[in-house]
Structure 1
């Protein structure tokens, strides 16, 4: 790691000069030892919407196990729950791409949330056809988590422990839960920077870890190639480059990322065979952390 000490010098200076709020940065490059710099202890922190990518991987694993298909109707997993007209045509893929057309987004704090988020979502009339428009939605991801429970009999976290968390050596993962006790799925998973970095490395490796395929490779590929348009989603170019299966495309060609509120990122660089992972607390412009990576780290990845 000493030979690579200058790899993060520019990022460290940028973090200080622009007050970017980084907690830590971790760089994985195939064929190299990892390089990491801590701005504070590597404690577990809320990775916010970085949680969504773990939920998407659960869907990919379940599909590989023959428990579901991406074009299945969501309502079919919730038999007997009152469903508004139009919701019956929304598919699992629509939830993954956040283009369901259902306006119930569930961004409220848990204390203000309905008791059963899934029932509320199903009862809410869609405002547009599925697949027509991307609209960022915590409820879409939460519904994916509930589908995992419906097909497996286990809640999302229980399902992922032997299939993903244990192989990645993420012990006793803590995940905030909804009023009914299910993992929030869209948010609330707590990880260290180095634990989040293992997710990025798994994605770089096409779902393989230590010689074992944890997630089907074709699904991991589709996560960042089956992309919907987000050009209407704000003014920042990093938010308008496209959205896949609970991951974002980036402005750098071929690069895609796990992305959580306040600057929780695990960024996949396929051409460089590298992953850059950051945890942070930046309430102003967290996407500036990405630009610091493009300017200060990417040119040194080789």
Structure 2
């Protein structure tokens, strides 16, 4: 059975041109199953990086450095003078769940013209009260990275190195930075398929890796239970089921990390399994459906 688990997906990737680079399936108690469609290079996992940023926030909270309900401007009081009306109410939770109400829209692929992107984020007018609505953007994750740097004295990548990257054997991963030297946080982290699969396994196991508890189990569980409504999204049905603390919620109790061009990690606690795919796909919605229909739904 395991020898043929990926046959249908491999065929679909070839016939339908889904663009997968590699796929890795982890199930508790069984040997991993994987297939490569090309070189095993590190690739940009795009918005999957948001989940790593979320984990950093959870770790900092567990260390007593902050809470998700801290207000952003309490960590950057010097920005109050130029902050938009209503920005005082923006919390780290709002930043993480993309519910700040801000009009600011930014993603890592865009050039940063501002002298300090955080100043631009804080000064952008609000279109809704904090917490009132979900609006997809990379601005919040970047701001969280700046908070991590302020409260720990280490940038996001440096903070995660001894806590997550090194224990998982993710040797010195690249994470692109802004002009001021801070990791972009919302994207542009580079990993191999099997490296990302280790992070997937870490979340599946409630933050435990081998004999160490790397992440607070309570925070990993909160990532899917503390959710915001995304029903108004129009760019795909699988995005309308809610967004948690850095992960998208999906059908059947599954949740996922989700990056541009088909970087997907589908975690299924019920099946005790995680499916990881890296890709360069112009048909990423079709790719995600294939992961569910041809792999996740067939796991026993």
TM-score range, shorter chain: over 0.9
- What is the aligned partner in structure 2 of residue 18 from structure 1? 16
Give the 3-state SS of the residue equivalent to 1:287 in structure 2.
helix
Partner residue of 2:285 out of 277, 280, 287: 287
Is the Cα–Cα contact under 8 Å of residues 108 and 186 in structure 2 kept in the other structure?
Answer: no
Residue 299 of structure 1, CA deviation? 3.7
Map residues 135-154 of structure 1 onto 2, 5 A cutoff.
135-154=135-154
**Closer/same/farther in 2, CA of residues 174 and 235 from structure 1, 3 Å limit:** closer
Structure 2 CA distance for aligned equivalents of residues 113 and 186 of structure 1: 17
- Whole-angstrom CA distance in 2 between matches of 1:299 and 1:279: 19
Q: Give 1:277's aligned residue.
A: 276
- The DSSP-based 3-state class of the residue aligned with 1:185 is coil
State the number of aligned residues.
Answer: 298
Q: Which residue matches 1:257?
A: 256
Equivalence for 1:102: 102
TM-score normalized by structure 1?
0.96
**Deviations 1:233-271 (CA, angstroms, capped at 9, x unpaired):** 114211111111111011x21000011001001110111
CA distance in 2, matches of 1:60, 1:22: 31
Task: Rate the CA distance shift 1:183–1:87 in 2: closer, same or farther, 3 A.
Answer: same
**What secondary structure, in the 3-state scheme, does the structure 2 residue paired with 1:14 have?**
helix
Gaps of 5+ in 1: none
CA shift at 1:225, angstroms? 1.3
Q: Is the 8 A contact 2:156 2:182 kept in 1?
A: yes
Find the residue that maps to 2:190 and give its secondary structure: strand
**Aligned 8 A contact 1:105 1:140 in 2:** no
CA distance in 2, matches of 1:268, 1:146: 28
Quote the offset at 1:111 in angstroms.
3.2
What is the distance in 2 between the residues matched to 1:189 and 1:22? 18
Report the Cα distance in structure 2 between the residues aligned to 1:213 and 1:170, rounded to whole angstroms. 17
The alignment partner of 2:270 has SS state of coil
Q: CA RMSD in A?
A: 1.2
Say if 1:110 and 1:179, in contact at 8 Å, map to a contact too: no
Secondary structure at 1:259's aligned position in 2?
Answer: strand
User: Which residue in 2 is equivalent to 1:4?
Assistant: 2
CA–CA distance in structure 2, aligned partners of residues 213 and 108 of structure 1:
31
Confirm or deny: 8 A CA contact 2:145 2:183 kept in the other structure.
yes
Q: TM-score, normalised by structure 2?
A: 0.96
Post-superposition shift, 1:300? 3.0
Which residue is 1:127 aligned to?
Answer: 127
Which 10-residue stretch deviates more, 78-87 or 48-57? 78-87
Query: 1:85 Cα deviation (Å)?
Result: 2.0
1:173, CA displacement in angstroms?
1.0
1:245 alignment partner, SS class: coil
Q: Any conservation in 1 of the 2:224–2:244 contact (CA below 8 Å)?
A: yes
Task: State how far apart, in whole Å, the 1-side matches of 2:90 and 2:12 are.
Answer: 44
1:50 CA displacement: 0.6
CA-CA distance at 1:29 after TM superposition? 0.5
Q: Post-superposition, which runs of at least 4 consecutive aligned residues in structure 1 deviate over 4 A? A: none
8 Å Cα contact 2:108/2:188 also seen in 1:
no
Match of 2:73 in 1: 75
Q: Does the 8 Å contact 1:224/1:245 carry over to 2? A: yes
